[in-house]
Amino acid sequence: MKIPIDSKKLDHISMLIKSRRRTVLFCIAFIIVVAVTVNLISLLNSCRKLSYDYFYDGVYMDGIKLAGLSKAEALRQLEMEFQRNYKQTSIDLLYEDNTWTIPLSSIDFNFDFEAAINNAYKLGRSGSWFNRIKTIKQLKKTPVNLVVGAKYDRAKLNKYLTKIKRQIDFSASNSTYDYNCGKIIYTSDVNGKKLDIDTNTKLIEGRLLNRDFSDICLSIEIIKPLITLADVKEIKDVLGVFTTRFSSYNYSRAHNIELAGKKINNYLVLPGEEFSMDYALGPRTPSNGYMQAPIIMRNRFVAGTGGGVCQVATTLYNAILLSYMEVTKRVHHSIPLGYVPPGQDATISEGYIDLKFRNNRDYTICIATEVRDSTITVKIIGRKKPGESLNAVLRPVIVEEYNPPEPEYVINNSLSNDEVQIRVKERKGFKVVLYRDTYNEQRALINSEVISQDIYKPVRGQLAVSKKTYESLKNN
């Protein structure tokens, strides 16, 4: 069934719909206009703020609000606030019972208000106008609190610390050890102290820049001595001893032997340390106490400063071997010597040939020397382990001999026909192997080891004769 349509009602409904549409569109248009107007006003206000000479909202300095203040006003306010909160005019540096007062003005310490204010003033004033506006709005929502920095003259502070360093610093003193015929005297060690300027400058700077003006305890480094009392107080046992004889009639040579003996007497060698005889003796010069005495050079005895020190080196070398120390450098003489068997000698030449050994024990050892009655004795003093009673014996064995060539003759017109002058004494050559035999407490051989194998070349003799004798020998 069809319902009849009333045309008047349809027209009325259509008019209502159109009216409502116009109302909605009007409202939307009104809202858009209002929004644009508000944003435009806000934009205009923001643009107007770009030309402000004052700090923007949301800018704080050490908790002080700077918004609306000029630079000059902000400076005055900060200075007043800091004068009220920070009245310290000096700092005290402490060490033990000593106090050093440093006026802050003497190192040009001050708060850097100008730099802080300039940095704060830049907020909202850098970048494009769009970025500036964005920053200004952000500051208002999220305030920023800047901190006033400080500055000082580091060089002036270092001058103060340098003066203090002179009062604090001193070198560590080693424990000393004196072994004299079995009697032992030693002194305690003393720690040294050292003020490091860079370390303490950083320490003080950190406190100052953090506005901490309380007393500052200086950082002092304690320097431990190389040799402590603990290192030497247990040194009492003779590990090895060796003695050689010399002639006291040769005064200069005997003097050099005694002097060299004193140079190495009570010389302490730390665990693992290498001893250098050349270094310990020092320069063999008259200014260092050495005298002219015979030395061996090119198989001959000639005058030289420091003659005799090789006998001290040789005596020490044998004591080292008998103590089972590690020999790291040793050179034998060119000819055998009269005061030790072949293979048991050690030569030394300043800056060229050295005698060295390493302390292979886990404790400090001492070299002790005694010069008396035309003998020099060298002892290695250490600490024997409980029950340690091994005995070392050095045993040189000549395994080959070499005859020298026929002597060389030279002319000396001052000689008569039946006179012969020995210029160079001929000597046999040897090949020597040195053994170190170890015996236990019951004197039973428990070990034998090769220490060295030396070759002493034969020495051709040189004889001086008259010219007539020389011609006669030449013709024959």
Q: What is the CB-side half-sphere exposure of residue 295 using CA atoms within 13 A?
A: 19
User: Are residues 246 and 362 located together in one domain of the fold?
Assistant: yes
Angle between helices 129-141 and 7-49 (to 10 degrees): 90
d(CA 210, CA 120): 20
User: Are residues 258 and 344 located together in one domain of the fold?
Assistant: yes
User: Are residues 171 and 182 located together in one domain of the fold?
Assistant: yes
- Give CA separation, 364 vs 133, 294, 359, 383, 402, in Å: 78, 35, 8, 9, 43
- The answer to whether residue 362 is domain-embedded is yes
Please provide the DSSP assignment of 251-286 as one string: HHHHHHHHHHHHHHTTEEE-TTPEEEHHHHH---SG
Show which of 201, 230, 259 is a domain's final residue: 230
User: Are residues 240 and 353 located together in one domain of the fold?
Assistant: yes
Both tokens of residue 314?
A: 């040789």
Q: What local confidence, expressed as pLDDT, does residue 249 receive?
A: 87
- At position 58, the amino acid (one-letter code) is G
- The answer to whether residue 349 is domain-embedded is yes
User: Are residues 252 and 362 located together in one domain of the fold?
Assistant: yes
Both tokens of residue 250?
A: 């040769």
Whether the CB-CB separation of 133 and 46 falls below 8 Å is answered with yes
The strand pair at 59-61 and 144-146 is best described as parallel
Query: Based on the number of CB atoms within 10 Å of its own CB, is 397 exposed (0-12), middle (13-18) or buried (19 or more)?
Result: middle
- The answer to whether residue 307 is domain-embedded is yes
- For 92, other C-beta atoms within 10 Å of its C-beta total 13
Q: What local confidence, expressed as pLDDT, does residue 49 receive?
A: 55
User: Are residues 210 and 245 located together in one domain of the fold?
Assistant: no
- The answer to whether residue 29 is domain-embedded is no
The C-alpha angle with vertex 125 and arms to 122 and 127, in degrees rounded to 5, equals 115
Query: Which of 331, 347, 371 shows the shortest CA–CA distance to 246?
Result: 371
- The answer to whether residue 213 is domain-embedded is yes
Rg (CA), the chain: 48
Secondary element (H or E) of residue 42: helix 7-49
Domain extent for 164:
154-230
Per-residue DSSP letter, 186:
E
Show which of 230, 254, 274 is a domain's final residue: 230
Beta-carbon contacts of residue 184 (< 8 Å; ≥ 6 apart): 177, 178, 235, 236
Q: What local confidence, expressed as pLDDT, does residue 175 receive?
A: 87
User: Are residues 223 and 330 located together in one domain of the fold?
Assistant: no
Whether the CB-CB separation of 133 and 47 falls below 8 Å is answered with yes
The residue written with tokens 């106090």 in the block is: 99
Residues facing residue 100 across a β-bridge: 93
Both tokens of residue 79?
A: 């200075």
d(CA 343, CA 356): 17
Overall number of domains in the chain: 3
* CATH number, residue 476: 2.20.230
Q: What local confidence, expressed as pLDDT, does residue 374 receive?
A: 93
Whether the CB-CB separation of 317 and 240 falls below 8 Å is answered with no
Q: What local confidence, expressed as pLDDT, does residue 165 receive?
A: 95
User: Are residues 275 and 348 located together in one domain of the fold?
Assistant: yes
Q: Is 167 left (phi over 0), alpha (psi -120 to 50) or beta?
A: alpha
User: Are residues 250 and 380 located together in one domain of the fold?
Assistant: yes
- Give the CA-trace dihedral at 294, 297, 300, 303, to 10 degrees: -30
Q: What local confidence, expressed as pLDDT, does residue 3 receive?
A: 53
- Give CA separation, 474 vs 55, 111, 415, 421, 465, in Å: 118, 103, 17, 17, 12
Q: Is 13 left (phi over 0), alpha (psi -120 to 50) or beta?
A: alpha
Both tokens of residue 264?
A: 């190495």
User: Are residues 350 and 274 located together in one domain of the fold?
Assistant: yes
- The answer to whether residue 126 is domain-embedded is no
- The answer to whether residue 308 is domain-embedded is yes
How close are the terminal C-alpha atoms of the chain, in Å? Answer: 175
Show which of 208, 230, 252 is a domain's final residue: 230
Query: Based on the number of CB atoms within 10 Å of its own CB, is 141 exposed (0-12), middle (13-18) or buried (19 or more)?
Result: exposed
pLDDT in tens, the chain (476 residues): 555 556 666 666 677 677 777 776 777 766 776 666 666 555 555 555 576 788 888 999 999 999 889 989 999 999 898 888 888 899 999 999 999 999 999 999 999 999 999 999 988 888 887 888 888 889 889 999 999 989 999 999 999 999 999 999 999 998 888 888 778 888 888 999 999 999 999 999 999 989 999 999 999 999 998 888 888 888 889 999 999 999 888 899 999 999 999 999 999 999 999 999 999 999 998 998 998 776 766 555 666 666 889 999 999 999 999 999 999 999 999 888 889 999 999 999 988 899 999 999 999 999 999 999 999 999 999 988 877 778 999 999 999 999 999 888 898 888 888 888 888 888 899 999 999 999 998 889 999 999 999 999 999 988 888 888 888 887 76
Q: What local confidence, expressed as pLDDT, does residue 438 receive?
A: 94
- The answer to whether residue 432 is domain-embedded is yes
Q: Is 191 left (phi over 0), alpha (psi -120 to 50) or beta?
A: beta
User: Are residues 395 and 453 located together in one domain of the fold?
Assistant: yes
User: Are residues 300 and 405 located together in one domain of the fold?
Assistant: no
